[in-house]
Amino acid sequence: MLGGSPKGEMSVTMQYVKFLANQFPQQEFSVVQVAQPIKKLEENSEAFQHVVDHMCGSDGVLWAFPLYVFLVCSQYKRFIELIWEKHAAFAFKGKYAASLSTSIHFFDHTAHNYVRAVSEDLGMNFVGSHSCGMHDLLRKEGQGRLLQFAKGFFAAMEEGVQMPRVFRPIHWPGLEYMPSKEEEPKLSTAKKIVLLTDTLEGNTGKMIERFRKRFRSQVEVINLSSIDIKGGCLGCLRCADKNECVYLEKDEYIGMYNSKLKTADILVFAGSIRDRYLSSRWKMFFDRAFFNTHQRSLEHKQFGFLISGPLSQAADLREILTAYVEWQGSNLVDIVSDESMTSGELDAAIDGLAVRLVQSAAMGYVRPVSFLGVGGMKIFRDDIKGGLRVVFRADHKSYRKSGMYDFPQNKPLKNLLFSILYLVTGIPWVKKRMIRNFKEFMITPFRKVVNA
């Protein structure tokens, strides 16, 4: 079992693992924490080799982790990067794998898809995923489902079941992007533009430079690799009461986020795809923004993304980026990737993104959110209003003040009206007439607007 929580043994996820270990004494459980001691695993070859030795001696691997901002935490993400960097993929090949997470089900599917894709890229035989609600283990039904999941995982290993691969191997020859030297007419805007990246090298760096040169005004480029960030989110929930992070005044992250990103009108995030996501440095950025807890902190902004890599082969990454912007209450103008493009086509796509960002900012346009934004916000709304407000007091105060608690049950007059209509439309002759004229009935309220 590879522990994927920065809290290590003290995590909720580990209680699920311990429960399984106690329920299946015939199985030999070897628990290795890899997220919490990530710096040690990076710097100490013996410590990393210890993990590899555990892998070599195992029949199956359970990736166990709490959900952190659409994915696993940055520390777990960094461990996955180390597998390839330290040439340890051989230790995983041929092993059976499954994933177990704990969360409130906010984009847990993208986290499990990521872990499955990584497992398959490592040559593992992935059996399945089990996404637990935070308190499922406290209920008999939750315990029963967890036990069934574990039995299926163990049975697949014992019987040598071959599992189908869901995510095809990534194939990307790569483009050596050569931006045109021709000077395009420069754009003028009074809006504040901030571009955030984790590298200024390779195609990502060239795409950034192309974008920056399109403007007369200054595009502020911030390199996450040059910012002093002491570490990833610790999951300590110090921020839950007053949005005060444990890292406050200990590094540069919070100051950068508040002074640069929150005050920008246009935000462009640039990075390269790395094992079906962006880098662990980017993941650290998203995780550390949790000092804002479940509140929108980058609302009403124009967003663009410059991505180097096979974006079409990492569909969950596109969904994550789209959902992130929608949940923030901002406008996603576009995502530009260097995949399947010539240098000339990429020039045009970057130029087009710049133009559209300026136009959207001038109008203040924010497109309506899709299910990604609506569904995600309702999960937070419901859970904060419920038991989570005991812990996340800052969220509760913010939601109450901003009108986020827009429950239909809190509108008695409207509910009374609908209750009366429900009874009336149940009368046979009324129902018959309504069905006969249903199409007309549906569009009647819109006629005044259309014909105004």
Mean of per-residue pLDDT scores for the chain? 95
Q: What is the pLDDT of residue 434?
A: 86
pLDDT number for residue 341: 82
238, HSE (Cβ side, Cα atoms, 13 Å) = 9
Of the listed ranges 91-95, 306-310, 410-414, the one predicted with least confidence: 410-414
CA distances from 431 to 63, 362, 418, 419 (A): 54, 49, 15, 15
**What is the layout of strands, in order, in the sheet containing 193-197?**
219-223, 193-197, 266-272, 302-308, 331-337
Type of residue numbered 339: E
Q: What's residue 452's pLDDT? A: 81
Which residues on neighbouring strands pair with residue 125, listed in sequence order?
A: 96
Residue whose token pair is 């571009």: 195
Residue 185 pLDDT grade (very low, low, confident, very high; cuts 50, 70, 90)? confident
Q: What is the mean pLDDT of residues 336-359?
A: 94
Q: pLDDT by residue (tens digit) across 410-423?
A: 888 888 888 998 89
What b/e readout covers 296-320, taking b as 16+ CB neighbours within 10 angstroms? bbbeebbbbbbbbbbbebbebbebb
3-state DSSP of 187-215: ECCCCCEEEEECCCCHHHHHHHHHHHCCE
Dmax over CA atoms of the chain, in Å, equals: 80
pLDDT at position 181:
84
Domain regions of the chain by residue span = 2-159, 193-371, 411-452
CA atoms of 321 and 304, how far apart (whole Å): 10
pLDDT digits (tens, 9 = 90+) for 47-83: 999 999 999 999 999 999 999 999 999 999 999 999 9
Residue 227 has what pLDDT? 96
**Mean local confidence (pLDDT), 153-181:** 92
Tokens, residue 407: 């429950």
The per-residue pLDDT for range 223-280, each reduced to its tens digit, is: 999 999 999 999 999 999 999 999 999 999 999 999 999 999 999 999 999 999 999 9
Q: Could you name the CATH architecture of 193-371?
A: 3-Layer(aba) Sandwich (3.40)
Superfamily of domain 2-159: Flavodoxin domain (3.40.50.360)
Helix (H) or strand (E) holding 117: helix 108-121
List C-alpha distances in Å: 353 to 50, 199, 303, 337, 349: 47, 20, 10, 11, 6
Could you tell me the pLDDT band of residue 175, with boundaries at 50, 70 and 90? Answer: confident
Asked if residue 56 lies in contact with residue 270, where contact means CB atoms within 8 angstroms, the answer is no
Share of the chain above pLDDT 90, in %: 87
Which tokens hold the place of 215?
Answer: 């403007």
Is the pLDDT confidence value at 179 over 80? yes
C-alpha to C-alpha distance for 28 and 118, rounded to whole angstroms: 24
Q: Kindly tell me if the per-residue pLDDT of 184 is higher than 80.
A: no
Q: What is the pLDDT of residue 27?
A: 92
| Residue of 132 and 437 predicted with greater confidence | 132
Judge whether 242 and 172 are in contact, CB under 8 Å. no
Q: What are phi and psi of 88, to 5 degrees?
A: -110, 10
What tens digit of pLDDT does each residue of 12-55 get? 999 999 999 999 999 999 999 999 999 999 999 999 999 999 99
